[in-house]
């Protein structure tokens, strides 16, 4: 999604802005641009990567500037549609993340008043409105403009005649880093870490005035005091650290992520949400909301909660919930979101909160919108995740859910003790998978020429089949379907022949026999089968064409090792196919529009 940055300080703004834009590349984008306030307002934009902007931009001097990475929504990716946008007199420059829903009507009115538009974007109305309302005071013109905009935005504005940057937010994220004699703003925390770990998260309806010396935040025209948060991420966390891709680095960080999350874990302690939240309050059960990979974490949690706590759980795609006319009443909901900024999740959370529902957010980003919206927040401890494909955040989500569930008083003490000691073995098992990467790389080599692949699983590993398919399709561009193994014969069988490999997750639990039958059925259609199976499963070798081994363990936690295995399978398949792994086409890390 679009990323915005802005700098006001004692250094040259251009290199600071370019560096910050590189740190936002992980969000996904198709063009980039900068505006630097020097003796005049200089704007330069380029299609493609930030490096193309960097290599071609003239040397603009100035200590205040804004920058943008654009993920096209209104108008194709092009230099003209790239931000910053400006007005007729080129006195104002604006970068924007979000969607202005009433832009068409505003544009027609402005054109009738004589304004000339050059782009297809919704954003371009903003500088024209500022131009229209400007009477010598930038913030007054911005406020008047915001009053007539509908939709979502995080914006940064600079003006030729004013030594400051004005920022505002409604629905899209914006954080402000407080440095020493310099201040920087961005859509996310990584660009700030080169300057400071002291940040202010702007809330909806707030406006900030940023200069080299000061950051002032206003709400409804009144100066307010905003809390400053200290971010515990550092610059190494947002570098590749010798790995070829962020995704591989993040996959390899998983044993550490799990270990850290389990450090000092005490299942006897009071859980952040107790049985009244997790329980079957008023017979309405529990709702879990999420999108994409986080949704798959919610599906795993459903199996665990229903099996261990006997509580019915509904897991819903947030993108569906937020478009339902009627919200089915629910007392408590858990929103799972790595970024904490996914628009669909935030909208559905708001709907539920308005309907009287109590919400818990499980998120990776301190001070994110989901964290601020929810009644309670549980922070997963994954550290910054920069590859577009979610890996360590998925595992961190699972661990937080396991921890929460195993703290519930409804579980007997002996079962808790047994499961907690099994859970504590997981860093070692995750490391085992990484230490046996070669077998996965071989299978990736085998899969890479195919155009279609199926992933099947049963029970608690059915969501992992969905996740494995999502991962490979997003980064290797192979068409992949995740299926509940028992459903294959209800339709997809017509597609299975020798050119469609099937990755089968074979759990050593009560689903084993059924899975073996499914594999035999698939083999008789001559589709190649790659089984992901435990070390002690020797029978599987007689059936599958290839076997990827995972360590023997309690089945409840097997989604962790199976998911890591399938992350590596997707990674190496994409690598064999020469794909841009960290920045898959058309995708964005943080999906801040509906």
Task: Name the residues that contact ligand F6R, by CB under 6 A.
Answer: 291-294, 337-339, 342, 345, 389-390, 470, 474, 591
347 or 470: CB nearest ligand F6R: 470
Active-site residue, selected from the candidate residues 45, 132, 403, 589: 589
291 or 405: CB nearest ligand F6R: 291
Sheet holding 479-484, edge to edge: 479-484, 452-457, 502-506, 529-534, 546-550
Q: Cβ 469 to ligand F6R, closest distance in Å?
A: 11
**What is the number of H-type helices and E-type strands within the chain?**
19, 25
Collect all residues with Cβ–Cβ distance below 8 Å to 438 and sequence separation of at least 6.
none
Q: Which residues is 77 bridged to in the sheet?
A: none
Do residues 20 and 13 touch, judged by C-beta distance below 8 A?
no
Return contacts of 346-355, CB within 8 angstroms, 24+ apart.
Answer: 346/171, 346/370, 346/373, 347/318, 347/322, 347/594, 348/289, 348/316, 348/318, 348/321, 348/322, 349/289, 349/318, 349/373, 349/374, 351/321, 351/322, 351/327, 352/287, 352/289, 352/321, 352/327, 355/327, 355/329
Alpha-carbon distances of 427 from 67, 395, 423, 433, rounded to whole Å: 40, 11, 9, 10
Q: Cβ 315 to ligand F6R, closest distance in Å?
A: 14
Do residues 385 and 393 touch, judged by C-beta distance below 8 A?
yes
273 or 570: CB nearest ligand F6R: 570
Q: How far is CA 169 from the centre of its chain?
A: 19
273 or 347: CB nearest ligand F6R: 347
The CA distance from 234 to 184, in Å, is: 16
Q: Cβ 293 to ligand F6R, closest distance in Å?
A: 3
Active-site residue, selected from the candidate residues 2, 201, 357, 443: 2
Residue the block writes with tokens 């398919």 = 469
Three-state SS at 518:
helix
Alpha-carbon distances of 295 from 71, 299, 336, 501, 535, rounded to whole Å: 23, 6, 7, 25, 29
Q: Cβ 420 to ligand F6R, closest distance in Å?
A: 26
Q: Cβ 366 to ligand F6R, closest distance in Å?
A: 14
The CA distance from 289 to 282, in Å, is: 19
Smallest Cα–Cα separation from 162: which of 130, 194, 192?
Answer: 130
- Bond into 268 cis (ω within 30): no
Residue nearest ligand F6R (C-beta atom): 292
2 catalytic? Reply is yes
21 or 588: CB nearest ligand F6R: 588
Q: Cβ 286 to ligand F6R, closest distance in Å?
A: 19
339 or 507: CB nearest ligand F6R: 339
The CA distance from 335 to 401, in Å, is: 12
Residue the block writes with tokens 């020429």 = 449
The CA distance from 11 to 22, in Å, is: 18
Helix (H) or strand (E) holding 437: helix 437-447
Catalogue the active-site residues: 2, 589
């Amino acid at each position: 999604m679009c990323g915005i940055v802005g700098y006001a300080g004692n250094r040259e703004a251009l290199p600071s802005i370019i560096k910050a834009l590189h740190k936002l590349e992980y969000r996904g984008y198709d063009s980039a641009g900068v505006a630097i306030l020097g003796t005049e307002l200089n704007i330069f934009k380029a299609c493609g990567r930030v490096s193309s902007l960097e290599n071609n931009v003239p040397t603009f001097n100035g200590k205040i500037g804004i920058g943008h990475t654009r993920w096209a929504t209104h108008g194709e990716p092009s230099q003209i549609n790239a931000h910053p946008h400006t007005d007729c007199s080129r006195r104002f420059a604006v970068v924007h993340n979000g969607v202005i829903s009433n832009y068409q009507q505003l544009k027609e009115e402005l054109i009738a008043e004589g304004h000339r538009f050059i782009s297809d974007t919704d954003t371009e109305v903003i500088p024209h409105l500022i131009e229209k309302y400007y009477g010598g005071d930038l913030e007054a013109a911005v406020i008047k403009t915001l009053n007539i905009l509908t939709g979502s935005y995080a914006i940064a504005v600079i003006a030729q005649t004013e030594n400051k940057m004005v920022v505002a937010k409604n629905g899209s994220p914006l954080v402000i880093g407080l440095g020493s004699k310099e201040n920087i703003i961005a859509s996310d925390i990584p660009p700030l870490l080169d300057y400071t770990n002291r940040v202010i998260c702007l809330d909806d309806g707030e406006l900030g005035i940023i200069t080299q010396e000061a950051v002032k935040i206003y709400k409804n025209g009144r100066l307010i005091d905003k809390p400053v948060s200290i971010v515990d991420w550092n610059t190494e966390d947002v570098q590749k650290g010798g790995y070829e891709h962020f995704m591989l680095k993040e996959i390899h960080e998983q044993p550490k992520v799990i270990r850290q999350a389990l450090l000092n874990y005490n299942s006897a302690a009071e859980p952040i949400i107790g049985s009244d939240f997790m329980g079957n309050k008023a017979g309405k059960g529990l709702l879990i909301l999420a999108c994409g990979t986080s949704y798959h974490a919610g599906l795993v949690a459903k199996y665990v909660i229903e099996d261990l706590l006997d509580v019915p759980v509904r897991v819903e795609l947030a993108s569906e919930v937020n478009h339902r006319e009627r919200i089915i009443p629910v007392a408590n909901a858990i929103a799972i979101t790595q970024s904490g900024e996914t628009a669909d999740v935030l909208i559905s959370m708001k709907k539920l909160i308005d309907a009287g529902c109590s919400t818990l957010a499980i998120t990776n980003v301190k001070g994110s919108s989901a964290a601020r919206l929810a009644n309670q927040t549980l922070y997963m401890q994954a550290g910054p995740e920069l590859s577009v494909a979610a890996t360590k955040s998925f595992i961190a989500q699972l661990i937080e859910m396991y921890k929460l569930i195993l703290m519930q008083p409804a579980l007997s003490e002996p079962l808790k003790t047994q499961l907690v000691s099994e859970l504590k073995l997981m860093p070692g098992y995750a490391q085992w998978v990484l230490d046996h990467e070669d077998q996965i790389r071989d299978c990736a080599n085998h899969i890479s020429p195919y155009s279609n692949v199926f992933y099947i699983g049963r029970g608690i590993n059915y969501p992992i089949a969905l996740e494995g398919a999502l991962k490979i399709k997003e980064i290797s561009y192979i068409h992949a379907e995740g299926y509940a193994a028992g459903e294959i014969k209800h339709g997809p069988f017509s597609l299975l022949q020798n050119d469609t490999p099937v990755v089968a997750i074979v759990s050593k639990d009560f689903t084993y026999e059924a899975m073996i039958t499914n594999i035999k059925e698939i083999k008789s259609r001559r589709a190649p089968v790659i089984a992901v199976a435990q070390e002690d499963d020797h029978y599987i070798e007689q059936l599958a064409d290839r076997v990827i081994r995972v360590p023997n363990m309690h089945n409840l936690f097997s989604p962790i090792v199976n998911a890591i295995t399938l992350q590596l399978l997707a990674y190496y398949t994409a690598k064999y196919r020469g794909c841009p792994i960290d920045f898959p086409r058309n995708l964005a890390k943080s999906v801040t529009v509906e």
